[in-house]
Amino acid sequence: MGAVDGKRAIVTGAAAGIGRATAELLAAEGAAVVVADLDAAGGEAVAAGIRANGGRALFVRCDVTSSADCRRVVETAVAELGGLDILCNVAGIIRRADVVETTEAEWARVMAVNVTSVFLMGKHAAPVMAAGGGGAIVNTGSGWGLKGGDRAASYCASKGAVVNLTRAMAIDHGPQNIRVNCVCPGDTDTGMLRDEARQLGESEAAFLAGAAARPLHRIGTPADTARAMLYLVSEASAWVTGTTLVVDGGGLA
């Protein structure tokens, strides 16, 4: 316990799924957390739950495609928590369609939520971290950011961009003592995964069963990825930057 004692963190997409699990784990390990999400009711509930368990957290409503919103989240962390040490970019969406089926508006939306958000949060967070002596950023990629997948053209493109943007950020901000890494989860039991079944017109039960067809014979849990996030923002990974950590039960293998 206490892997991030005294640290100040922002987690985007923190109202549910991997973002929620990450916010709750960071708080349990001693960090003060800004819960950032577009879902105000969900985000407020997560922050309240953290406080009820003795942690420190506050909710800030944030559209991660808005530079003004991303800046406001960082400014809130500075004003309310006294600084910023950790940023976990978890917010993301998926559209299951090939390039012919995908509309231009859908393409733009997926790229904005999955990629532009990482750029915007990093843009506003990195100067604050640098002024405070450094920090750790973890971006959320995907197994499909490292290999192709069917009927997910915009998602695959966006997650591939996140993986390489992570490397570029690590190179640029390493001299400021800011480590930047990427977690690439496999199929994880979240609302987004279940929405994929609906988008594809498949039975949810059959879809989840297929997703579990990997060496460890199960789909991931949000906690699986949250623990990887914790490792990458803690001192346990003090000499790790620019890397991609695959958390997928052996699926990519």
Q: Which residues are catalytic?
A: 155
Distance, CA of 150 to CA of 160 (rounded, Å): 15
How far apart, in whole angstroms, are the C-alpha atoms of residue 198 and residue 188?
16
Tokens linked to 156: 């695959």
Quick one: how far is CA 155 from the chain centroid? 14
Q: Are 214 and 39 in contact (CB under 8 A)?
A: no
Q: What is the DSSP string of 206-247?
A: HHHHHHT-STTSS-B-HHHHHHHHHHHHSGGGTT--S-EEEE
Sheet holding 32-37, edge to edge: 56-61, 32-37, 8-12, 86-89, 135-140, 178-185, 244-247
Alpha helices, DSSP H, located in the chain:
17-28, 40-52, 67-76, 104-111, 117-131, 153-173, 191-200, 204-211, 222-233
Which residues are bridge partners to 88 per DSSP? 11, 138
Strand partners, 12: 36
